[in-house]
Structure 1
Amino acid sequence: MNDVKHVSVPDGLFQTHRWSILLGLLVSLILLDGFEDRLPFADQVALWGLSFLFLGVVGATERNTALRLLMSIPVFAWFVLLIMSESLDVHVDGSLSGLAAVLLFGSMIISFRQLIGPVHSEYERLSSGIFGYLLIAMLWGLIYWRIEVMHPGSFNLPEDVAGHRAPFVYFSMITMTTVGYGEITPAASLPRILTGLQAIVGTMFVAIFIGRIVGRLK
């Protein structure tokens, strides 16, 4: 076997299992999306859950690095907008969605760094890889949803899912895994191009991720 470079981390549950904890939180948020049409408080819980997710990613980033600073700035802006929305009843849905896309992308980059950098546990490397893969699905799903909100009719949708975010996360997942059940399909040029790109990105990520993991076990 190849020697695996490990890094020492401070004692503590989060520091030792940070990517596993973040992965569990992300999976919980994805599952919560499936209840957005049944639970009236699901959106609020999801927003605050995302807040803790973004804070966790900042905490999992290497200290005293430019990347951590770059992530901290939009996270601070996220909390400002969220408090404005909750306390002052200011309509900032579009701004929150834009910031969420930026933060999901940044979180994805940070998790991908764990695939090539030294880690204290290969189990954590595996967790960070799955975390990044699911973030791709969430990011693309958010983009699809905003496209449909801004330009209705961009997707062919069943009547009972119009306006909800969860169906687009679902569509993003089946697109990335190239399953393609067909009940939701792109109807405009931009979403068609994006779905094609996502299928390519998803396939390439799986190939690189598996290759990286297997390569470290030889």
Structure 2
Amino acid sequence: MTTHRWTILLCVLTFLILLDGFERHIGWLDEASLVAMSLLFMGVVGATERRTWLRAVMAVPVATWFLLVVVNGFWPSASVNVGLVIVSAILLFGCMVIGFRQLFAPVHSEYERLSSGVFSYLLMAMIWGLIYWRIELFDPGSFNLPENLGDTKRGAFMYFSMITMTTVGYGEISPATDLPRTLTGLQAVAGTMFVAIFIGRSVGRLK
């Protein structure tokens, strides 16, 4: 199990992203997302090298996350939901840092390094998608959206994030204000740089 931990985490992250694609059809989407994110956070901390400061630092927000999930299950409130959003943002960023570190840290196999690289790339896309989604929630009209999108927008922003990071840019969703335009430009640059670093590091390891 430990030799395939990043492959397992990649599968969990892929499942989490795919859930948003069924946003219109799954009534229990939020509950499934909470479970998948809990598994993801716990798994990333478990995959971090033992006796390191990063693992110790990540353990605190993970414990806070599980406490808030339990509280939200029994006494749901707006303040608990805000707490979940803040803690999840901290944990997602921490997971991104840990995944990126695997490009340079010793691993059991190059296959695991590849899995951690793809994991980091998809996680970066998911984080940016969640940021875009929150921007649109707080400031409606920040993005030009299709008329038939309705109220189910999180999956659409995951899609927008992925096509932005891969610089495909189909154009049916586009930023309409300065902040989203700046962020999409930064994401395109970050995605391109990550691929270059990932490929360069992988090729370097084969020499």
TM range, smaller chain = over 0.9
Listed one character per residue, the Cα deviations across residues 149-201 of structure 1 (whole Å, up to 9, x for unaligned) are: 11111111113334421111110000000000111111111110000000000
Q: Which residue, out of 6, 31, 35, partners 1:48?
A: 35
Q: Percent identity?
A: 63
How far residue 99 of structure 1 moved from its aligned partner, in angstroms, is 2.0
Task: Quote the RMSD (CA, aligned, Å).
Answer: 1.1
Q: Which residue, out of 75, 78, 84, partners 2:62?
A: 75
Q: Which residue, out of 64, 68, 87, partners 2:74?
A: 87
Match of 2:188 in 1: 199
**2:87 is the counterpart of 1:99:** yes
**2:43 is the counterpart of 1:62:** no
Greater CA drift, 187-196 or 151-160: 151-160
Match of 1:26 in 2: 13
Are the aligned partners of 1:154 and 1:187 in contact in 2 as well (CA < 8 Å)? yes
Q: Which residue, out of 117, 126, 132, partners 1:138?
A: 126
Q: Work out the CA distance in 1 between the residues paired with 2:84 and 2:155.
A: 17
After superposition, the Cα gap between the structure-2 partners of 1:166 and 1:93, relative to the gap in structure 1 and judged at 3 Å, is farther
Q: Work out the CA distance in 2 between the residues paired with 1:83 and 1:108.
A: 25
Listed one character per residue, the Cα deviations across residues 11-31 of structure 1 (whole Å, up to 9, x for unaligned) are: xx1x11100000011111111
Q: Work out the CA distance in 1 between the residues paired with 2:95 and 2:184.
A: 21
After superposition, the Cα gap between the structure-2 partners of 1:90 and 1:132, relative to the gap in structure 1 and judged at 3 Å, is same
Q: Secondary structure at the match of 1:116?
A: coil
TM-score normalized by the length of structure 1: 0.91
Match of 1:124 in 2: 112
Q: Secondary structure at the match of 1:117?
A: coil
Aligned residues: 205
**2:169 is the counterpart of 1:216:** no
TM-score normalized by the length of structure 2: 0.95
* Code of the aligned partner of 2:60: I
How far residue 95 of structure 1 moved from its aligned partner, in angstroms, is 2.8
Match of 2:3 in 1: 16
How far residue 41 of structure 1 moved from its aligned partner, in angstroms, is 0.6
Q: Which residue, out of 82, 86, 102, partners 1:114?
A: 102
Listed one character per residue, the Cα deviations across residues 113-139 of structure 1 (whole Å, up to 9, x for unaligned) are: 111111111100000000000010011
Q: Work out the CA distance in 2 between the residues paired with 1:213 and 1:43.
A: 37
**2:189 is the counterpart of 1:187:** no
How far residue 63 of structure 1 moved from its aligned partner, in angstroms, is 1.0
Structure 1: state its 5+ residue gaps.
Answer: 1-12
Structure 2: state its 5+ residue gaps.
Answer: none
**2:156 is the counterpart of 1:170:** no
Are the aligned partners of 1:36 and 1:42 in contact in 2 as well (CA < 8 Å)? yes
